[in-house]
Amino acid sequence: MNYQEAIDYLFSQLPMYQRSGASAYKDNLDNTLRMDEYFGHPHRKFRSIHIAGTNGKGSVSHMLASILQEAGYRTGLYTSPHLIDFRERIKVNGEMIREEDVVDFVEKSRDIIETVQPSFFEMTVAMAFNYFAVQNIDFAVVEVGLGGRLDSTNIITPELSVITNIGLDHVAILGDTLAKIASEKAGIIKPGVPAVIGRRHEEYDEVFLTKAGQNGSPICWAVDCVKVERTAYSHAFQTVDIYVEDKLTYKDLRVPLPGIYQLENIATVVAAIESLRKTGSGISAEALCRGIERVITNTGLHGRWQVLSEKPLIICDTGHNEDGIRKVAEQLAQIPAVKKHLVIGMVSDKDVSKVLQLLPKDGVYYFTRASIPRSLDPVELRDIAGKYGLKGDIYPDVKSAVEAAKIKCGDNDLIFIGGSTFVVAEVV
């Protein structure tokens, strides 16, 4: 079996949420626990940090992993979904799992895979934890796939639980209110384990307080102890000052993630590091600064307000729900382009109406679809968008939509590509 055959086997044999949607979601941890027992409980062989949240958990996970690397820890990073290569999901010190290690895992695990019939995500978690144990890592930064309470990653007992924020996403699975969704995310808070919450909100603060109280877990909100102020900005980076407990602690930190939403994520990261320091993890101020400044080179983070071209200015972003697109629209409004060309594709199981009405009415739209079964037909997307004053043409695939935007784009125009992680995956 070669690498492509191994990947084809996994994609064809196992349900995958990113492609199939809710039918691939399991509402229990039975399969995960069986797989974990089969492999000898590998997650018990390393320390971990668990990250949940509606938006920002990927950026926070990558920044924390980069900081731990800079602090000298051998660091595993588990994230999802991948943009281009499956191996992006599993990294050690920024290096993707080798193709031969994926093949080896599949070949040795086919019996248990075909017996248990795990979801694609359940299998990937087992592969990641097994790989991290074999690689003898010190720390793993583990991003939740969906929700928290019933997520396959939730078999770990971490050093720290981090919940970035709560927004309305995956409502058919997690619940249709912020409080219900928060209750699912709060499931990663373990007895006695400190928890850092990124954002306060009157609809769900009490959910986290109650869960932390039941578990005897210290809890803090990043917004209460860390303040991040932007001092300079370009399309490729932003410079920030960071105040911890109202004291200027990190000055002129150059962040290669220029999205305005990263200010909140940086605050959450700093609060998480402050919490880890209290448990004896030796993470210096220098390691924190270097980790944030080198996050892209250290971990390979892509697709977060990423500049693909300066002339014409082309930017992509993976924001795909109401909360994420609101930030994207806010930043688009700050760019003084003559015209704004928006290449947009979405998935069919999202509430696209709430997202579309946030986008600029004066944009020129290129409605398209990513090459996955869940993608929304661009004709339907265009028709829904038209109800909110968004006008444009339809294109059968992302490549043709981007090419059309480039042809129509003037020297002082902007092209934005987004609406779905899977649309961005086809251009980065």
Each domain of the chain, given as residue ranges in start order, spans: 3-224+259-284, 306-424
Q: Determine the pLDDT at residue 146.
A: 86
Q: Determine the pLDDT at residue 25.
A: 52
Sign of the CA dihedral running 335, 369, 422, 324: positive
User: From CA 51, how far away is CA 69, in angstroms rounded?
Assistant: 17
User: From CA 254, how far away is CA 241, in angstroms rounded?
Assistant: 9
Q: Determine the pLDDT at residue 17.
A: 41
Ranges of the chain whose pLDDT falls below 50 = 17-24
pLDDT tens across 154-179, in order? Answer: 999 999 999 999 987 777 778 879 99
Q: Determine the pLDDT at residue 26.
A: 58
Full DSSP string of 302-332 = --SSEEEETTTEEEE----SHHHHHHHHHHH
- The listed CATH number (3.40.50.2300, 3.30.70.360, 3.40.1190.10, 3.40.50.300) that belongs to domain 3-224+259-284: 3.40.1190.10
> Which is nearest to 367 in space by CA: 324, 406, 405?
405
- Between CA 400 and CA 404, with CA 402 as vertex, the angle to 5 degrees is 70
- The listed CATH number (3.90.190.20, 3.40.50.740, 2.60.120.560, 1.10.3290.10) that belongs to domain 306-424: 3.90.190.20
Q: Is residue 179 a contact partner of residue 157, using CB atoms and an 8 Å limit? A: no
Q: Determine the pLDDT at residue 18.
A: 45
Counting other chains too, the contacts that 167-171 makes at CB distance below 8 Å and 24 or more residues apart are 167/54, 167/55, 167/321, 167/322, 167/323, 167/324, 168/54, 168/321, 168/322, 168/323, 168/351, 168/354, 169/54, 169/55, 169/321, 169/322, 169/323, 169/350, 170/146, 171/351
Q: Which residues of 213-240 are buried (b: 16+ CB within 10 A; e: fewer)?
A: eebebebbbbbebbbbeeeeeeeebbeb
Q: Determine the pLDDT at residue 297.
A: 97
pLDDT tens across 12-48, in order? Answer: 776 654 444 444 455 789 999 999 999 999 999 999 9
Written as six digits, the tokens of 143 are 């991003």
DSSP letter for 376, please: P
> Which is nearest to 150 in space by CA: 268, 33, 15?
33
Q: Determine the pLDDT at residue 64.
A: 98
Q: Is residue 421 a contact partner of residue 88, using CB atoms and an 8 Å limit? A: no
52, β-bridge pairs: 163
User: From CA 387, how far away is CA 407, in angstroms rounded?
Assistant: 27
Q: Determine the pLDDT at residue 248.
A: 97
Q: Is residue 378 a contact partner of residue 406, using CB atoms and an 8 Å limit? A: no
Q: Determine the pLDDT at residue 351.
A: 81
Q: Determine the pLDDT at residue 281.
A: 82
Question: How far is residue 18 from each of residues 170, 237, 305, 347, measured CA to CA in Å?
Answer: 12, 30, 21, 10
- Between CA 373 and CA 379, with CA 374 as vertex, the angle to 5 degrees is 95
How many angstroms separate the first and last alpha carbons of the chain?
29
How many Cβ atoms are within 10 Å of 11's Cβ, its own excluded?
12
Q: Determine the pLDDT at residue 21.
A: 47
User: From CA 319, how far away is CA 272, in angstroms rounded?
Assistant: 23
How many Cβ atoms are within 10 Å of 255's Cβ, its own excluded?
22
